[in-house]
Structure 1
Amino acid sequence: MITFPNAKINLGLNITEKRADGYHNLETVFYPVPLEDALEITLSKSKEVPFTLHPSGISVAGELNDNLVVKAYLLLAEVFDLPPIDIYLYKAIPSGAGLGGGSADAAFMLKLLNNKFQLNLSTEKLEEYASRLGADCAFFIQNRPTFAEGIGDLFSPIQLSLKGYEVVIVKPPIFVSTREAFSLITPCKPKITLSEIISRPPTEWKELLENDFEKSVFALYPTIRKIKSELYSKGAVYSAMSGSGASVYGLFAPKTPLPEMEFSNSFYFHTCLD
């Protein structure tokens, strides 16, 4: 059985306050985009180990057993008598990009196991398991435009469609430490609520919809700022960094031919949004 975990972009990201537990409250909109990994599970011929992970595609740093698809399997294996499996993960979503690739893989793994082995888990229960694996993992269970609050784990569905817009995603060969990015933020509630801004057409977002991480991250990594400027110069109606970086996306109006763009040594992806 195979599935295709997709990426997300952040439409706006406001860090509103620092919590007593050391985390930060935020507001953002998660929007799914069809940049996809491939994830397949098959019954293993070996009975000696519960799982074997076979990675391919873009390399992912760290030990294989620390991969979130493995953690998703082990989480359900604590409750259900799962048989040994082979896990085939092809990575097309770059890591360290603010695109949620690892979180998507984890959530889709939960759904895949639920379907493959008829575990009969409800959507709510899948979201509960996903939230144990990461703050934004549960978003990918329903995988629809969502307003997120808290530490990025409190969700409200929203009516938002970017159907027909072309999205360009560029990820330079830069690693942005999320911990460092948060340490440089001064929390502040926006003058105009994110919900109000999102209700306006994307052509009005440029001066209103902000990612609070951009100020500090751009100062540390001018290349990321340059990518955003270039996307605007090529005709994007809106451009922003996704999450804490390092990827930047640009939205281009429907039926507008994309100009030729070249970002040397960077990951580049474009598609029309459904």
Structure 2
Amino acid sequence: MLVFPNAKINIGLHIVERRPDGFHNIESCFYPVGWSDALEITPAEEFSFQSDGIAIPGEGDDNLCTRAYQMLSRDFDLPPVKIHLLKAVPIGAGLGGGSSDAAFTIKALNQMLDLGIDIDKQEEYARKLGSDCAFFIRNKPMYCFEKGDKFEDIEIDIAGKWIVLINPGIHISTIEAYSGVVAKRSAVDLRTVLCKPVSEWKGRIENDFEATLFKKYPLLAEIKETLYTRGAGYAAMSGSGSTIFGIFEKEKNLKDHFSDFRLWQGFLK
């Protein structure tokens, strides 16, 4: 079975409070985008995991796809499979690429092996692998809260708009990103502003990580400003960085402006 785990962006990200378990409660809109990996799962005589493309740190046993298989194996008598991942979505980029790979592994194994796991239970499994893994089970625009693993439907109308994602290759760990923020409740109701046209988002929908990370990595602020000068209705950093995205009313090819960086562009669905 061949599937294509896609990335997501955060439209707005508020760090609300630190939890007793050491994590943080957040408020954000997760929105799927078309930048994707390729994940193939095939029958095999023994389990194996292989990856190509962008190098994945750590050993294969630590990979989220492997962990997803092992987790399901504890509850189901899974046959051995070979998992081959072609990694294209940048790592440590605020796009949830690893989380998507894990969620798509759960979904693919469920379908391929006819495990009969309903969607709520798939989300439950995914939450055990990472805070935003569960989002990719339903894989649709959602308002996300608590650790980023609880969801509500949200009114947002940006389907058909053009998005450009720029990744300058700066790897920002979650620990690094959170070390510079002070948790606080936002004065802005994200769900209310997201109902408004994209042209009204600038200055109202913010990513709390930008304040400190833009000072540490000025290039990120420069990319964001360039997207605005090229006509973006809204631009921001996704997640804890370092990918910056811009949303445009019409198709706009910016490859020549960001030729030194990884870039993906396409229509939003």
Structure-1-length-normalised TM-score: 0.95
Map of 1:5 onto structure 2: 5
CA contact 2:255–2:263 (8 Å) conserved in 1: no
CA contact 1:94–1:101 (8 Å) conserved in 2: yes
Choose which of 69, 72, 79 in structure 2 pairs with 1:76.
72
What do residues 104-124 of structure 1 show as CA deviations (whole Å, max 9, x unaligned)?
A: 000010010000111000001
Q: State how 1:238-253 maps to structure 2 within 5 Å.
A: 238-253=234-249
Q: Separation in 1 of the partners of 2:51 and 2:20?
A: 39
The 3-state SS of whatever aligns with 1:133 is coil
The reply on whether 1:61 has 2:65 as its aligned counterpart is no
The structural deviation recorded for 1:250 is: 0.5
The reply on whether 1:263 has 2:258 as its aligned counterpart is yes
Count of residue correspondences: 269
Query: Relative to structure 1, is the Cα distance of residues 256 and 24 closer, same or farther in structure 2, using a 3 angstrom cutoff?
Result: same
The structural deviation recorded for 1:265 is: 3.1
The structural deviation recorded for 1:260 is: 5.8
Q: What amino acid is aligned across from residue 14 of structure 2 in structure 1?
A: N
The 3-state SS of whatever aligns with 1:176 is coil
What do residues 73-125 of structure 1 show as CA deviations (whole Å, max 9, x unaligned)?
A: 00000111111111111111111100000000000100100001110000011
Map of 2:81 onto structure 1: 85
Q: State how 1:107-186 maps to structure 2 within 5 Å.
A: 107-186=103-182
Q: What amino acid is aligned across from residue 9 of structure 1 in structure 2?
A: I
CA contact 2:95–2:243 (8 Å) conserved in 1: yes
Give structure 1 regions of 4+ aligned residues with deviation exceeding 4 angstroms: none
Q: What amino acid is aligned across from residue 19 of structure 1 in structure 2?
A: R
Q: Separation in 1 of the partners of 2:38 and 2:87?
A: 7
What do residues 6-43 of structure 1 show as CA deviations (whole Å, max 9, x unaligned)?
A: 10000000011122332211100000001111111111
Runs of 5+ unmatched residues, structure 1: none
Query: Relative to structure 1, is the Cα distance of residues 164 and 20 closer, same or farther in structure 2, using a 3 angstrom cutoff?
Result: same
What do residues 156-175 of structure 1 show as CA deviations (whole Å, max 9, x unaligned)?
A: 12232311111100111211
CA contact 1:164–1:272 (8 Å) conserved in 2: yes
The structural deviation recorded for 1:251 is: 0.4
What do residues 109-144 of structure 1 show as CA deviations (whole Å, max 9, x unaligned)?
A: 001000011100000110000000001101000001
Q: Separation in 1 of the partners of 2:75 and 2:157?
A: 38
Q: Separation in 1 of the partners of 2:157 and 2:53?
A: 30
The reply on whether 1:225 has 2:216 as its aligned counterpart is no
Q: What amino acid is aligned across from residue 164 of structure 1 in structure 2?
A: G
Query: Relative to structure 1, is the Cα distance of residues 259 and 268 closer, same or farther in structure 2, using a 3 angstrom cutoff?
Result: closer
The 3-state SS of whatever aligns with 1:103 is helix
CA contact 1:173–1:265 (8 Å) conserved in 2: no
Q: Separation in 2 of the partners of 1:233 and 1:260?
A: 15
Query: Relative to structure 1, is the Cα distance of residues 189 and 75 closer, same or farther in structure 2, using a 3 angstrom cutoff?
Result: same
The 3-state SS of whatever aligns with 2:157 is coil
Q: Separation in 2 of the partners of 1:179 and 1:257?
A: 35
The 3-state SS of whatever aligns with 2:257 is coil
Q: What amino acid is aligned across from residue 102 of structure 1 in structure 2?
A: G
Q: What amino acid is aligned across from residue 149 of structure 1 in structure 2?
A: F
The structural deviation recorded for 1:259 is: 5.1
Q: Separation in 1 of the partners of 2:110 and 2:94?
A: 27
CA contact 1:72–1:133 (8 Å) conserved in 2: yes
Q: Separation in 1 of the partners of 2:255 and 2:48?
A: 42
Q: What amino acid is aligned across from residue 123 of structure 1 in structure 2?
A: I
Identity of aligned residues (%): 46
CA contact 2:143–2:151 (8 Å) conserved in 1: yes
